[in-house]
Amino acid sequence: MQVLYERCCGLDVHKKTVVACVLITSADGQVHKQVRTAATTTAGLLALADWLAALQISHVALESTGIYWRPVFNLLEEGHTIILVNARHMKAVPGRKTDIKDAEWIAELLRHGLLKASFIPSKPTRDLRDLVRYRKTLVQERAQEINRLHKVLETANIKLSSVVSDVLGKSGRRMLAAMIEGVSDARAAG
């Protein structure tokens, strides 16, 4: 089979570790393999990046396993061509039971150009997406808390939502504060 990448690396990414298998094809066609395990801490990933740079690795492939691939990708994207591969495409071959064999398999597929890369947007787009997702989560959580407040008030037979359009608006908050202080006269609270 034709070799597309003479210096490549396959990464098997997990929560705490990354197993890297480097394949270097020499001029005579011999393949030299090196395997190393690194921690997924920033220090561990920077050491992995330094090792790959020292070996002049041009292409790196890794599986898109949950969110564990993201820190690895972020720290290795500068200086390498990274191919993120759908994990379902990688598990089709039976008999691979260890992390080292997984990393070797990924490296071998990459070496021959047999991996289909997933789309990864640019860093500013990824950052914006993360920010928008976080904002969406905060808005949903706020709505849930407002609904819980409505439920507590209704359970206590306090029909505040019948009197004000927004329970957490200016008037609604004043009425809630007055109830907390023990004021029971609606006219004095409003």
| Report field, pTM of the whole predicted structure over 0.75 | no
Q: CB–CB of 152/159 below 8 Å?
A: no
Q: Are strands 59-63 and 7-13 parallel, antiparallel or unpaired?
A: parallel
3 state SS of 147: helix
How does pLDDT run across 61-114, given as a tens digit for each residue?
A: 998 878 899 999 999 988 889 999 987 766 655 665 788 888 888 998 999 888
Q: Where are the domains of the chain?
A: 7-120, 124-189
pLDDT of residue 184: 76
For domain 7-120, is the CATH number 3.40.190.10? no
Q: How close are the terminal C-alpha atoms of the chain, in Å?
A: 81
10-residue mean pLDDT profile of the chain (190 residues): values are 90 93 92 95 95 95 88 90 82 67 89 88 93 97 94 89 88 89 71
In the numeric block, the tokens 């929560």 are attached to 15
